[in-house]
Amino acid sequence: MAQFRRAARLDPLEVSEILTIGAKAAEMKRQGAPVIILGAGEPDFDTPQHIKDAAAAAMQAGETKYTALGGTLELRRAVQAKFKRDNGLDYALDEITAGTGAKEILFDAFMASLNPGDEVIVPTPYWTSYSDIIRIAGGEPVLVPCGSETGFRLTAAQLEAAITPCTRWLLLNSPSNPAGAGYSAADYKPLLEVLLRHPDVWLMADDMYEHITYGGFEFATPAQVEPRLKDRVLTINGVSKAYAMTGWRLGYAGGPKDLIDAMKVVQSQSTSHPSSVSQAAAAA
């Protein structure tokens, strides 16, 4: 009987550690163990009722068919309004896309932009999926340790030292999973000054935890802090954390049209679009 031959691109990879930890903890909980599951970023409240009602209304109205690639017009208008309201960012509708979770947005962006050997700078501690997604897309994660002495935040000196001729992206997650560190506008400015000196390096901002902040921290996002970089920043967010919609699988992003168009090529040959019902719920 023939042996299965796994693709070489998967050689250094296994199933997401976060999902493995979550499955083990859930099984322990089913067996009666007093387990608190800290693996996944899962809000401890339910999806608000008006969002559930919008999903139910969409189903009753027959909104259960294929939608436009990258999201319905209603959803993209809602995302456009959110970026303007919360972040002072103006994106045209063709500069916005939605995917099956922010994880798909990350995957599509890296698949659309990385060539073999391209490097992505990732401050650590970091969400474990980042490095594996980068590797699947053919890139090389450059992991920069950021310890307690810097508040678990990347410094301008560290960023400058990590940039090489192969650097394609800097990936920043604020507030951070798992460190909890947040970059204020003042924290971002020295990093963005470095990027202004390196015009070939793009910035991916994972803002998923934007609305889960404590202690008077004021959220900022890079394209808002330094508008001169907006044409090479992909601003990523979603509804999983802010609205307790992890299972609905809906992420979105705003960025330069050429990048968004390339991401749609990848998406068109994978998921096509997020669930139509999830899109209606997210728009609400």
Q: What is the pLDDT of residue 36?
A: 84
* Token digits of residue 265: 């090529």
Domain span holding position 164: 49-283
Positions in the chain whose pLDDT score sits under 70: none
Same domain, 86 and 38: no
Cβ(170)–Cβ(190) under 8 Å? no
Residues 55 and 106 in one domain: yes
Contact 212, 175 (CB under 8 A): yes
33/166 same-domain check:
no
Q: What is the pLDDT of residue 179?
A: 92
Residues 6+ apart with CB under 8 A from 275: 100, 248, 249, 250
Residue 217 lies in a domain: yes
- Please say whether the beta carbons of 113 and 202 come within 8 A: yes
pLDDT of residue 125: 96
- Same domain for 22 and 163, yes or no, is no
Q: What is the DSSP letter of 2?
A: P
Question: What contacts 249, CB < 8 A, 6 or more positions away?
Answer: 100, 101, 274, 275, 278
pLDDT given for residue 94 in this prediction? 97
What pLDDT shows up at residue 1? 81
CATH code of the domain covering residue 76:
3.40.640.10
Query: For position 149, what pLDDT does the model report?
Result: 96
| pLDDT the model gives residue 93 | 98
Residue 2 lies in a domain: no
pLDDT at 16: 79
User: Has residue 13 been placed in a domain?
Assistant: no
On whether both 126 and 158 belong to a single domain, the answer is: yes
pLDDT at 6: 86
pLDDT in tens, 61-100: 999 999 999 999 999 999 999 999 999 999 999 999 999 9
Q: What is the DSSP letter of 122?
A: E
The answer to the question of residue 111 being in a domain is yes
| 17 contacts: CB under 8 Å, gap ≥ 6 | 128
Q: How many domains does the chain have?
A: 2
Residues 36 and 107 in one domain: no
Nearest in space to 175 (alpha carbons), one of 204, 144, 133, 218: 218
* Same-domain check for residues 27 and 154: no
Buried b or exposed e, range 227-265, using 16+ CB within 10 angstroms = eebbebbbbbbbbbbbbbbbebbbbbbbbbeebbebbbe
Same domain, 41 and 166: no
Judge if 34 and 57 occupy the same domain. no
